[in-house]
Structure 1
Amino acid sequence: MEMHIVSMKDGLSPDSAAKQEDGYAVLGFFLNAKNDQDTSEAWTTLTSFLPNIKEVDQMVNVDQNISINGLIGDVDLSKYYRYMGSLTTPQCSEAVVWTLFHEPIPVNSTLIQMFPLMTSFVDIYRPTQDLNGRQVYTSASSVPSHSWCYEGHLCDYAPSNWSFLPEAKCGGEQQSPINIDTQSTTEDESLGAFTFLNFDDKHAIESITNTGHSVQCNINGSVEVSGGGLPHVYTVLQFHFHWGSVASDGSEHLLDSKRFPMEMHIVCIRKDLNRSEALAQSDGLAVLGFFIEAPQTSKSGSHSSSTSDSSGTTNPPTSSTSDMEAWTKLTNYLDQIQTVNSQVPFSDEISIDDVLGNVDRHSYFRYNGSLTTPQCNEAVVWTVFKESIKVNQNLMTKFPESTGYENIYRPQQEQYSRTILSTKVSAGSSLQVKSARLFYPLLVFVWALLY
């Protein structure tokens, strides 16, 4: 059997609800007949009225206490499927947001048999209909076991098995993420300044989505990036995040074998290509990667104190701060997207510039790699910035706490023969800061000698 709980959109009449695609919401529960199931009080009470409604259109008043919760019982309401559909009886109005719960309600078989016996109705169900391109979404806990997942999560395709996924490129020799050994990078003078078009647009973020693997902010198509040694102009599609747990770090890239608490990826596509074309080109996509950590932390490996080497600034200085108001507003959306594929409009005025803050965008590393999730297409020009975004710890912990996702990062991949390029020491780098600290006392000394 199947039970449908039918609800109508508040403020509508049945006629007007039938004309809107979301005019109705129906909760569907499968019923599983169990011979050894204890007779539920709620179901016993409900079925006791069946002998009194044997005639068509016959109605009786329910004069005993029956709650919907009593009928549902202990079914796990966190596991369900969602799709847009119709009423299953004429006029079959396509006006229903359907929710089907994964776990059936166990009901004693004797009580289930009373429905056909008392009503004389049998086979009262509509045949299945074609999906016709519609997508069926799942809640986080209902993701099928054959889907891919991160290390430590339950699925058939953990990162070590991603290469076995259909059409996956995850076993190639230009995979991401990698460890960036700053001593082995090569300075490249052609890696100059970027041109960031509409990164200051406070209306560019259209929506925020729970993808089932991360939190993703979707961009309206007006934001572009070029320069910085990129071979083409790229349109920003979205940005998303990777994190560990409340107690552990979870950036995807490593810097001198050190992992940061979080990492943000701004994903861009070549302006002259569509998605399928871009995935087939080694430079079809460009991803801007930013490490994220708490400000003024002394944690080992968090790179909060500035150092430098032959390739310029490698460890982020503590001076960089991001807009905490922007991050507060952004993380406030997390509680609204707790189910897989849930998406809400982004109504706050926040630009990508606000999220990045004053992080140094002139100092970065460059290499050719891949997407870090299946199908792992080796189509990415990677830019990993040397300076980290500083975000308050309580805001970072909202990501694992609100989504329930932990350790959502791909393990380090082999570099093989790839070269990692680095910008030269630039204004604002720690090397120049140190030089300035030496220069100013010298200037004062010279001034004292002259005057």
Structure 2
Amino acid sequence: MLQLDLEWCYQSQVSCNSSCLGPDKWHLEASATSCEGKSQSPVNIVTRKTVPDERLTPFEFTAYQQTFNGLIKNNGHTVQVDLQHTAKISGGHLPSTYKALQLHLHWGKDGSPGSEHTIDGEQYPMEMHIVHIKEKYNSLAEALGDTTGVAVLGFFYETSASANKKYDPIITALKNITETGSNTSLSGVSLDMLIPAKENRTQYYRYEGSLTTPDCTEAVVWTVFENTIPLSKQQLSEFSKLRFGDGEPMVGTFRPVQPLNTRLVYRSGSSVVLASTALLLASVMAAVGL
């Protein structure tokens, strides 16, 4: 059981010479036994099996438009930006108001597949997680003691022909945090700038799951949005220039999808409305002979 002292790592870091615990062995960490739980994340979302839920209304995003000054860091596993608690989310059938704690990303290699969640088996180049905790809690550790204490918003990226200028501050900052443990200042950025426009945030999936890194605590209300964020191949490739603690390229920073087991994945009411509208239109056209 000497493995209990080893650090966890991603599959991309596992080799004959490595001494870290890959995803299939995370549960061997003394504090990560939850990684073998029945409600783990990420998952593959099979759209035809999702359940429409009209309670999943549009979110209320508070102070998402405010620009902030903060630190962006290479924590040895990903890029992370700590957020001030002014940004909050509510609505969307969440059980409470949640305040933003941090955001981080998961990616492949030079723009190749690297998202954690998948849609009908499709893996996107990158995925961002904006982590929130219930307003009443003071830390992530405290929130994890509540089965719905954490709310994470997941956003997918897609490769675009042109660069996304809104991401310039982040892409520029990456050059200064290539080494594990390094950080640099990030300014002039708002959460609104980093995610799809407000009108493109109404279609999403919801399920109950876990953190996607050890200790994999099952205390997360997951919201995964359908609409993607565009980044150029060059912008996506910049993330692969970062390095893990052992000096190797930071690539493949995602946990493989986990069994859904008995859980259901719900889809937002707006998706239902759109589908119903399409069916109604088709019926009308058929009725008038179009």
TM over 0.5: yes
Greater relative CO (CA pairs within 8 A, separation 6+): 2
Deviates more, 1:229-238 or 1:389-398: 389-398
1:178 corresponds to which letter in structure 2? V
Query: What is the match of residue 103 of structure 2?
Result: 239
The alpha carbon displacement at 1:152 in A equals 2.8
1:425 and 1:432 in contact (8 A); partners too: no
**Cα distance in 2 for residues equivalent to 1:398 and 1:259:** 19
Are 1:405 and 2:250 counterparts? Answer: yes
1:179 and 1:256 in contact (8 A); partners too: yes
2:23 and 2:255 in contact (8 A); partners too: yes
Are 1:255 and 2:255 counterparts? Answer: no
Are 1:414 and 2:259 counterparts? Answer: yes
The alpha carbon displacement at 1:439 in A equals 9.2
Query: What is the match of residue 107 of structure 1?
Result: none
Deviates more, 1:272-281 or 1:429-438: 429-438
1:179 and 1:255 in contact (8 A); partners too: yes
**Cα distance in 2 for residues equivalent to 1:398 and 1:430:** 38
1:187-242 CA-partner distances (Å, limit 9, x unpaired): 11111111101100112x51101010000111122111111111011010111110
Identity in percent: 36
Cα 1:247–1:286 shift into 2, 3 Å? closer
**Cα distance in 2 for residues equivalent to 1:410 and 1:212:** 15
1:366-386 CA-partner distances (Å, limit 9, x unpaired): 000000000001010000011
1:426 and 1:432 in contact (8 A); partners too: no
The alpha carbon displacement at 1:402 in A equals 3.8
The alpha carbon displacement at 1:346 in A equals 1.3
Q: Aligned match of 1:283 in 148, 164, 170?
A: 148
Superposition CA RMSD, Å = 2.7
Q: Aligned match of 1:150 in 5, 10, 15?
A: 10
1:120-166 CA-partner distances (Å, limit 9, x unpaired): xxxxxxxxxxxxxxxxxxxxxxxxx9211000313331101101111
1:226 is paired with a residue whose SS is: strand
1:350 corresponds to which letter in structure 2? V
1:422 corresponds to which letter in structure 2? R
1:215 and 1:241 in contact (8 A); partners too: yes
Count of aligned positions = 271
1:411-443 CA-partner distances (Å, limit 9, x unpaired): 110100001111134599588689889999xxx
Cα 1:159–1:377 shift into 2, 3 Å? same
Larger radius of gyration: 1
Query: What is the match of residue 353 of structure 1?
Result: 192
**Cα distance in 2 for residues equivalent to 1:374 and 1:343:** 22
The alpha carbon displacement at 1:392 in A equals 1.6
Q: Which runs of 4+ in 1 moved over 2 A?
A: 274-277, 401-404, 424-440
If the length of structure 2 is used for normalisation, what is the TM-score? 0.86
1:189 corresponds to which letter in structure 2? E
1:86-125 CA-partner distances (Å, limit 9, x unpaired): xxxxxxxxxxxxxxxxxxxxxxxxxxxxxxxxxxxxxxxx
1:198 and 1:223 in contact (8 A); partners too: yes
Within 5 Å, give how 1:434-445 maps onto structure 2.
none
1:254 corresponds to which letter in structure 2? T
1:319-364 CA-partner distances (Å, limit 9, x unpaired): xx9x9222122111001111212111213x1111111142611110
List gaps (5 residues or longer) in structure 1: 1-144, 297-320, 441-451
1:262-301 CA-partner distances (Å, limit 9, x unpaired): 10100001111233331111101000001111137xxxxx
Within 5 Å, give how 1:156-167 maps onto structure 2.
156-167=20-31
Cα 1:325–1:429 shift into 2, 3 Å? farther
2:178 corresponds to which letter in structure 1? Q
